[in-house]
């Protein structure tokens, strides 16, 4: 009977010894972590926030009051009506899409806000054969709705720059 109880107690003692070793090593790791945190706390402020510039009251400057932004009067989209293919291409460059549906041509220009569609038809007298803008359409790029003309045309003009906008007048 004594042998059976010794055999039973021996594995239990091994198990307890193994648990005790794990616990003591955990304390050591825990102590190391505490020591690391303590070293961080003791670091001088300059090391902790080296990237932050110091501010002194003498260097601070009061912000200037905002001036109203004066924006040039942008032309309305109607300025494109009657323009020839050459005139449109001189301002906006090559279209993102060009579709020929005789007798018309549809040119599309894209910005992040909208798509501008210019529809060219031959001039009314049809003798010259020149295509001119006869219809303008704009649609939003995010929703299936007609785009606001001022915003859409403004984004198109911003894309081409001030020099090109002046040639439209």
Asked if 110 contacts 128 with a C-beta cutoff of 8 angstroms, the reply is no
- SS3 state at 149: helix
Which residues does 138 contact at the CB level (< 8 Å), separation at least 6? Answer: 77, 114, 115, 116, 117, 146, 147, 149, 152, 153
For each of the chain's 169 residues, which pLDDT tens digit applies?
555 555 555 555 555 555 554 444 556 877 777 777 777 666 655 554 444 455 555 555 555 554 333 346 778 889 999 999 999 999 999 999 999 998 999 999 999 889 999 999 998 766 677 899 999 999 998 888 888 888 999 889 888 887 777 877 6
- For residues 159 and 169, give the distance between their C-alpha atoms in angstroms, rounded to a whole number: 17
Among 96, 76, 97, residue whose Cα is nearest residue 148: 76
């Amino acid at each position: 009977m004594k042998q059976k109880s010794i055999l039973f107690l021996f594995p239990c003692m091994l198990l307890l010894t193994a648990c005790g070793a794990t616990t003591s090593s955990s304390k050591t790791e825990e102590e190391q972590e505490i020591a690391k945190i303590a070293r961080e706390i003791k670091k001088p402020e300059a090391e902790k926030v080296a990237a932050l510039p110091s501010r002194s009251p003498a260097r601070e400057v009061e912000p200037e009051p905002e001036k109203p932004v004066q924006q040039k009067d942008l032309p309305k989209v109607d300025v494109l009506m009657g323009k020839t293919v050459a005139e449109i291409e001189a301002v906006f460059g090559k279209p993102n899409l060009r579709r020929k549906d005789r007798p018309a041509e549809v040119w599309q220009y894209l910005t992040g806000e909208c798509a501008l569609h210019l529809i060219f038809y031959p001039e009314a007298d049809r003798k010259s054969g020149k295509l001119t803008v006869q219809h303008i359409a704009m649609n939003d790029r995010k929703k299936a709705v007609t785009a606001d003309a001022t915003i859409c045309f403004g984004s198109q003009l911003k894309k081409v720059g001030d020099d090109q906008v002046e040639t439209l007048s």
